[in-house]
Structures are given as C-alpha cells and as structure tokens.
Structure 1
C-alpha cells in the first residue's frame, strides 16, 4: 500500500522494509495549455552529495548527459522531451547497496530546459509528482504530489533520499528555484560554465 506524503514530511524507506533494495524514482507532470509556441522539456536530475550537501565530483551529478553515477548505483533512464502520455515522464533508478559511502544524500530535482528563452516556468506545470516504486515487485511505496504552489520558478528540488544510521529515508522537499539547472548546480556545489 502506497503512502501519500505532504511537503516537509520524512519517512523511513529501508528500516521498516529491509527487503527494499532497488527503487525507481518516478517523476511525472502535465503542462497547462498556453500559446507560447514551444514544447515543455522538463528534465529530472539527481545530485549525489556528501554530508556537507555538496557534490564532490561531476560523476555524482546524474542527468540527461550523464546517465549513471555513484558507481552505477543511480541510473537515469533517459530524457523525455515532451512529457506526453500517462504515467511517469522520467525515472531514476537507485540501488541502495551500491551507493558509495561518501554519498549521504541524493537530491532529486526537475528543471525546465531553456526556460528563460521559452518564457516558461513551473506556474505552467500541473499535476507534478514523485513516487518511489519497489523495482523488484513494481509496488508503489510512496507518493508526493507537489501541488500548484509555484509561479516563477524554473527548477525544483522535489525530494531527497538520505542516509541516517545506515538506513535510507525520504524527505518531501518541494522547494523552487529561479535560474534553472545552473542555480541547482550552484546550490549543490558544482561549477557551471
């Protein structure tokens, strides 16, 4: 049975469910119809950080141009450039036992590609959600619906998966940023050219 979370809620993933070894982080959204003339291309990313909340190297930033990180413990399944159709629009797979010891947190984010040039923001996106699915049983473990509280933001930290006493937990963040992917990279300690 899936658990629905609200912004700011934290929940244990592996302590109460020791059989949970591999998960799929499914992200989905719809775009509101408007006459801007451009498709929306939303992109999921994962930032694998140390205890300081910063990424230690480029290999720990998983996105459409770097589909694997953390010794292949985090795998992006590929870029969906339109978000059309039902179900998850993009997915990131995580295998807990393979995550390197220097990784304490995985920030799951979504950005709008070329948002400034296309004059797009998350105020034009609806029904955004993240869900955690047990990859081995295909059962949904939890779901967090982000709501409609964003207006000018072009990047979101959706959630964090974090290590606590050798167990993994989920934190429903739902925090918006202006400045797209570059702002998120800076937030997580990566230099952007």
Structure 2
C-alpha cells in the first residue's frame, strides 16, 4: 500500500523498506484542453545535488540528452513528447546503494519545453504526480499528487530523495518556478546557454 503524501511532507524510504536499493521514480501528467498552435512537451529532469544544494558538474544534471548520472546510479529512461496514455509519462531508475557519497539529494523536476515562448504554463496541466516504485517487486511505495496549485509556473520541483542518517527519505516539494528549466538549472548551480 503506497504512502500518499501532501505538499511538504517527508517520509522514510529505506528505513521502512529494509533492503530496498533499486527504485523507479515515475512521473506523470495530463495536458488540459489547449489550443495554442504549439505542441505541449513536458520533460522530467533530475539534479544530483551535493550538501550545498548545487550540482558538482554538468554530469549531475540527468535529462533526455544526458540520460545517466551518478556513475550510472541514476538513469532517465527517455523523453515522452506527448504525455498521452495511462501510467507514467517518464521514468527515472535509481540504484540508491550506488549513488556516490558526494550526492546528498536527488531532485526530480518537471518543466515545460519552451513554455515561455509558447505561452504555456502549469495552469494548463492536470493530474501531475510523482511515485516511487520498487524495481524488484513493482510495488508502489510512495505517491505524491501535485494537485492544481500552479498557474503561471513553467517548472516544478516535484520531490526529492535525500540522505538522512544513512537512510534515504523522500520529500514532496511541489514548488513552482517561473523561467522554466533555465531558472531551475541556475538555482542548482548550472549555466545553461
């Protein structure tokens, strides 16, 4: 039975699931009726953060053009350009036992590709969620439904896996950003041209 979280809640992941190391982080969304003449492309991205909340290098930014990070411990399974269909729209596989020690937090985000120039935002997106599934058993362990808290934002930090006293926990963030991926990346210590 999955633990269902609200914004701001934190929950133990490895402590309550002894032996758990391989998880799949599934992200999903639906686009509301939208007729702006442009495709609506949402992307999930992952930032592997050091203690200071910043990436150590560009390779700690995992997304559809750089699908593997953390010495292979974090793998993005690819871009879904339509968001159609049931189930997860995009997935990230994480081997918690192999995440490098200098990574203290793994931040999962969803951004709208070219959201500003296409006049698109998260007010036009519904049913967004992040869930954590055991890769071995397929069991859904944690789920966070983001709700309809957003209007003008073009990027959302949906949740974070983080180390605490040698165990991994999950935090349901749900914090929105204007400025899309570029603003998010800058906050996490990356320069995107």
Is TM more than 0.5 here?
yes
Gaps of 5+ in 2: none
- Which residue of structure 2 lines up, in the alignment, with residue 16 of structure 1? 16
Deviations for 1:62-94, whole angstroms, at most 9, x for unmatched residues?
A: 001100000000000000001010000000110
- Residue-pair matches, total: 193
Q: 3-state SS of the aligned residue for 2:24?
A: strand
Q: 3-state SS of the aligned residue for 2:56?
A: coil
1:134-153 alignment runs, 5 A limit: 134-153=134-153
**Divergent runs of 4+, >2 A:** none
- Which residue of structure 2 lines up, in the alignment, with residue 47 of structure 1? 47
- Which residue of structure 2 lines up, in the alignment, with residue 133 of structure 1? 133
Question: TM-score normalized by structure 2?
Answer: 0.99
Q: 3-state SS of the aligned residue for 2:149?
A: coil
- Which residue of structure 1 lines up, in the alignment, with residue 183 of structure 2? 183
Q: 3-state SS of the aligned residue for 1:16?
A: coil
Gaps of 5+ in 1: none
Question: TM-score normalized by structure 1?
Answer: 0.99
Instruction: Report the Cα distance in structure 2 between the residues aligned to 1:50 and 1:187, rounded to whole angstroms.
Output: 13
Instruction: Report the Cα distance in structure 2 between the residues aligned to 1:179 and 1:27, rounded to whole angstroms.
Output: 21
Q: 3-state SS of the aligned residue for 1:46?
A: strand
Instruction: Report the Cα distance in structure 2 between the residues aligned to 1:16 and 1:133, rounded to whole angstroms.
Output: 14
- Which residue of structure 2 lines up, in the alignment, with residue 159 of structure 1? 159
- Which residue of structure 2 lines up, in the alignment, with residue 110 of structure 1? 110
Offset, 1:167: 0.5
Offset, 1:19: 2.0
Q: CA RMSD in A?
A: 0.6
Offset, 1:16: 1.7
Instruction: Report the Cα distance in structure 2 between the residues aligned to 1:86 and 1:39, rounded to whole angstroms.
Output: 19
